């Protein structure tokens, strides 16, 4: 699975072939075909593996969080650290490819829904008591939209300072939204 994800990151979906993944993984073509007879099967498993890695990353980070403190800022920074990394870029490759590949789209949609539930649960825990706020669900969704958009922009525009500034503004808006009476 690591070889498939690496290939997606380096070559994109169109350039990812089962032959190349088998070569990178150091397995015979026959062994690869036995486990993954088609590119779609291989990518479907890679998608699940990618989602498991992403959730594993969140769980690992959650264990290192202090029990008290600025949970809003910490949660937003944690999200950005994962959206600005290679796992998200591999997901982007698959999202774009799924637009014109119905089998990949169906697989990816199921995996994204599962991953989305896990991310929502993680954010509820990381944000702490403010997750009980009636507008928290909307804020959580908007935060994910913001992260995705900023990560996509980073592909073309490497101005990290501008994104840092946007994240700081988003934190202030989140505090305002989640304040009592907000």
Residue 57 sits at the vertex; the CA angle it makes with 51 and 62, to the nearest 5 degrees, is 130
pLDDT tens track for 21-56: 999 999 998 888 888 888 877 877 887 787 777 777
CA angle 78, 84, 85 (to 5 degrees): 100
Contact 135, 170 (CB under 8 A): no
Give the tens place of pLDDT for each residue, 121-145: 888 888 888 889 999 999 999 999 9
Q: Please tell me the pTM assigned to this model.
A: 0.78
Phi-psi region of 27 (alpha: psi -120 to 50; beta: other; left: phi over 0): beta
Q: For residue 28, give both structure tokens.
A: 């015979």
């Amino acid at each position: 699975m690591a070889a498939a994800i690496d290939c997606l990151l380096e070559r994109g979906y169109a350039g990812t072939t089962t032959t190349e993944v088998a070569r990178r993984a150091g397995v015979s073509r026959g062994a690869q075909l036995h486990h993954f007879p088609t590119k779609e099967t291989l990518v479907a498993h890679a998608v699940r593996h990618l989602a498991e890695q992403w959730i594993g990353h969140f769980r690992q980070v959650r264990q290192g969080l202090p029990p008290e403190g600025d949970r809003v800022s910490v949660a937003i920074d944690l999200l950005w650290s994962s959206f600005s990394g290679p796992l998200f870029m591999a997901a982007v490759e698959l999202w774009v490819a799924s637009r014109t590949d119905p089998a990949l789209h169906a697989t990816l949609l199921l995996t994204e829904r599962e991953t989305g539930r896990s991310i929502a649960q993680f954010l509820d825990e990381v944000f702490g008591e403010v997750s009980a706020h009636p507008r928290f669900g909307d804020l959580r969704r908007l935060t994910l939209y913001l992260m995705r958009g900023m990560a996509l922009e980073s592909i073309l525009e490497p101005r990290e300072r501008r994104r840092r500034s946007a994240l700081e503004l988003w934190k202030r808006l989140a505090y305002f939204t989640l304040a009592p009476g907000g």
